[in-house]
Every structure is written in structure tokens, then in C-alpha cells.
Amino acid sequence: MKTNAVGIALLFASCAVYAQHGGGLLGKEVRADAGPPNAANDQPWVTPAVRAPGVDFRTFESRAAQARVSFHIYAPAAYGREQERRFPVLYWLHGSGGGLRGIPQLARHFDSAIAAGKAPPFLVVFVNGLVEGMYVDWKDASIPLETVIVKDLVPHVDATWRTIAAREGRMLDGFSMGGYGAARLGFKYPDLFRAVSIVGAGPMQPELVQAPRAGRQRAAEVLQKVYGGDQTYFRSVSPRTLAEQNAAAIAKGSLVRIVIGDQDETFENNRAFHEHLERLRIPHGWTVLSGVAHDPQGVLSALGDDNWAFYRAAFGAADAPVGDAPPDRRGPQQTRRNPLRPGAEKGVAQLGSTVSPTRRPRS
């Protein structure tokens, strides 16, 4: 248990700093042992391969990047057994830093839940979001990351794997920078992704002036590199603006949740975003994890099996337990308690206090 928890935490260890689709058949998918045709051109787009049970490393030719792009994909055991079956897909968006080290542990986390019947079998695409790609097309056009994902990667996965190639079969989930990316892509393309999980997300503030976990200087560096130093561009591509533009479509058919620890430095920005969605009348789950900081280990422990209730609702495999409404419709506030007892897991705080939906508790 301790090994798995520490391993899962490694996935996000580098998250401390922030952080029209279409297309058809793309280039032929290439396995991990094939060398890139142009290493200099591909260089931020192809990562090292991660080896883990059930996980493959693949690359494909991206028109948007004009380069080969890599991704990792986990397939459950049922994918090999049931040759006629199609499977839903989770697109996992990592935090800043690349997220490679935690792929094996996170794949085991998903695999264990599927094997235990807590979630239906699903594919997981571990998206290559670059070290600090922000899941957006950079203003200077040097990194068209959003377009690579939406126009190239999603159609490629649907063309080469047995997927449910419809919005009902796609979900976005991510932590920190990945939570920001999930909100961005999910709210901009509600016809492409049905479910959107926004966990410990950032940057969620209206302007990128101060990064809660990094300070003004780092915020200015990211603003310059990704958004061309332009606050107007940052706002125009932000989840806040995209929610305003597509509120009706999101409210009509998307499953959305926001999960945040009450000791997370990004709590206030996430709470403000939750209130923004409320004003827009976009139904969503708002789960505050008492005693949890910007810590994926604490988040996963505190969520417990409720995490899989959201996945079941997202993929339509099963209803939530009797007396427990689907996570996206539960109302304005949930508080989750850590199921672990003191001393059961090193580094995980014991939970218990109730969190107000409008006031952050003081430590």
C-alpha cells in the first residue's frame, strides 16, 4: 500500500510549478523501438518510453506539430480477451514536469480498480503535455499542443484502437496543470469529451500575475513563454472564458467535477472558479478534501472509492450507490474524509473537519 501511494505521488512530484477539432486517419503508429525520423524537429514531442504492465509507448505523425509525437496507452486485460468489444477512453493530462515517472504506478491504480469491479474496463491515454505545455496552442505558434491533442491524437487513437469513438466514450482527467488542461479542453470541446475531472487545478485565476505555488517571477515566465506575455490571450483561452462561451452546451450534456484540498495553495482560485460555474448555471461536483494540500497521494486517499463512482457515471457503466447521487449532480459541496487511520499511511493527513463552500478553514 505504501509503495503504491508513494509511486502514485511521483506522477505529480513535478507539479509544484505551474502551472474546431476534426481530422481523420493520420500517419502510421510506430512502436517504441522505432527511431524518430528527425530527432531535432521532434525533440520536445517524443518522450522516453516508460515500460509497465499493460502500458505501450507509441508515436504517430502529427500534422499540427509537423513532427512525430509520442504518447503512452494503458489497455485493460479485457481489451485482449474481448476482441469485438469497444472501450471508453480516459485522456490523462499530467502536471508540469512531464509526468513520466508515475505512469507505471498510476496504470496499476487504474488496473486495480478495474479488476475489483469498481470501474468498467477503459483505455487510458497518457497524453504528452510536454514539460510545461499548458495544453494550449502557444501564442507564438511554436507549440500547437491543443491542436495536436484534439485534431491529431484523438482521431489517431480512435483509428488505431477499439474505442467508443464518440463523446460518450471520452473523459478528461488531470491534476495541477493537467486539471487546468482538462477544464480548458473539456469546456472548449463539449461535443468531443463528455466527462471532465478538474483536480488541484491551476492556473485558474482570471489573470496570470501571481502563481500561488511559484510566485510572480515564475508566473511572468510562463505568461511570456506560453501566452506571449499577453494577459488578454491568457484570458481568452482560459477555462473561465471557455465556460462562458459554451455554458449552454456544457450544462446540457457534460459531467463535471472539481476536486481540491482545503490546504492546497490553489484552493481560493479553484473556489472562485466553482462559484463562476455556479453563476453560469453549469452543474458540477464541488468536492473539498479536508486537510489535504497540493498532494496527489492525499487526494487519492481522501477520494477513495468516490473517485470510481465518478468514472462509472462518466462511462455509463453503473449508477452511483443507492442514496448517493452521481458526483456531478450532488450540489454545491461535498467533504471527503481520509479513510486511513493515524499511522496507516505515512505522510497522509487524517481528515475530519467540515469545509464551508464559501470559507476556507484556517489551520
**What is the per-residue pLDDT for 242?**
98
Q: How many CA atoms lie within 13 A of 65 on its CB side?
A: 31
Question: Cβ distance 49 to 32 under 8 Å?
Answer: yes
Question: Cβ distance 208 to 240 under 8 Å?
Answer: no
In the sheet that holds 67-74, the strands lie side by side as: 30-31, 55-62, 67-74, 123-126, 89-93, 170-175, 195-199, 255-261, 285-289, 334-336
Residue partners of 292: CB distance under 8 A and separation at least 6: 261, 262, 263, 264, 298, 299, 302, 338, 349, 351
Query: Helix H segments across the chain?
Result: 2-11, 39-42, 77-81, 103-115, 145-147, 154-160, 177-188, 216-227, 231-236, 239-245, 247-253, 267-279, 296-303, 306-315
Q: How many CA atoms lie within 13 A of 194 on its CB side?
A: 18
Residue partners of 221: CB distance under 8 A and separation at least 6: none
**What is the per-residue pLDDT for 334?**
55
Long-range contacts of 320-327 (CB under 8 A, 24+ apart): 326/255, 327/255, 327/257, 327/285, 327/287
Residue partners of 35: CB distance under 8 A and separation at least 6: none
Question: Cβ distance 102 to 8 under 8 Å?
Answer: yes
Is residue 131 assigned to a domain?
yes
Question: Cβ distance 259 to 304 under 8 Å?
Answer: no
**What is the per-residue pLDDT for 198?**
98
CATH number at residue 168: 3.40.50.1820
CA-derived radius of gyration, the chain: 19
**Count of structural domains, the chain:** 1
Selection from 180, 195, 199, 174 nearest residue 336 by Cα: 199
Question: Cβ distance 130 to 225 under 8 Å?
Answer: no
C-alpha cell at 80: 485482449
Residues forming a β-bridge with 336:
289
Is residue 117 assigned to a domain?
yes
Q: Give the C-alpha separation, 62 to 29, whole Å.
A: 10
**What is the per-residue pLDDT for 156?**
98
Q: Give the C-alpha separation, 339 to 54, whole Å.
A: 29
Selection from 259, 269, 260, 274 nearest residue 211 by Cα: 269
Over the range 207-236, which residues count as b (16 or more CB within 10 Å of their CB) and which as e? ebeebbbbeeeebeebbebbbeeeeebbee
Is residue 129 assigned to a domain?
yes
Residue partners of 331: CB distance under 8 A and separation at least 6: none
Is residue 354 assigned to a domain?
no
Low-confidence ranges of the chain (pLDDT < 70): 1-43, 317-363
Q: Give the C-alpha separation, 361 to 148, whole Å.
A: 41
Q: Give the C-alpha separation, 43 to 35, whole Å.
A: 12
Q: Give the C-alpha separation, 25 to 284, whole Å.
A: 34
Is residue 108 assigned to a domain?
yes
pLDDT in tens, 301-330: 899 999 999 999 999 843 333 223 333 333
Is residue 363 assigned to a domain?
no
pTM: 0.80
C-alpha cell at 18: 505551474
Is residue 264 assigned to a domain?
yes
| Residue-number span of the structural domain to which 159 is assigned | 2-336
Is residue 325 assigned to a domain?
yes
